[in-house]
Structure 1
């Protein structure tokens, strides 16, 4: 999920908006960890996209 490049937001701006550490924001951006559902819906609104746009479907989930 490449959230900070979608709408020109950098990691420091996202850190301030969500009150998270830069490490946490970096983990969101590199798919090492994920945000909460409320944060997800806020990101969708912020980035003007769909939930599906923020995720890459892995082969494990394709059945």
Structure 2
């Protein structure tokens, strides 16, 4: 299983990323565990190095 974090503050972009990941899972027969954070602060607050891949928004609201 591949653990993925999505750090994004816009729900529409979160939905798009999740759709891409779901499609990839089905096409390549892999399993993802996806966690979503709506701010970098929340992502880093109790950070544990458990993620294999992090998709992070470059420009987020404060």
Place the TM-score, normalised by the shorter chain, in its bin: under 0.3
The structure whose residues are more often helix, as a share, is 1
The structure whose residues are more often strand, as a share, is 2
Which of structures 1 and 2 has the larger relative contact order (alpha carbons within 8 angstroms, sep 6+)?
2
TM-score, L = length of structure 1: 0.26
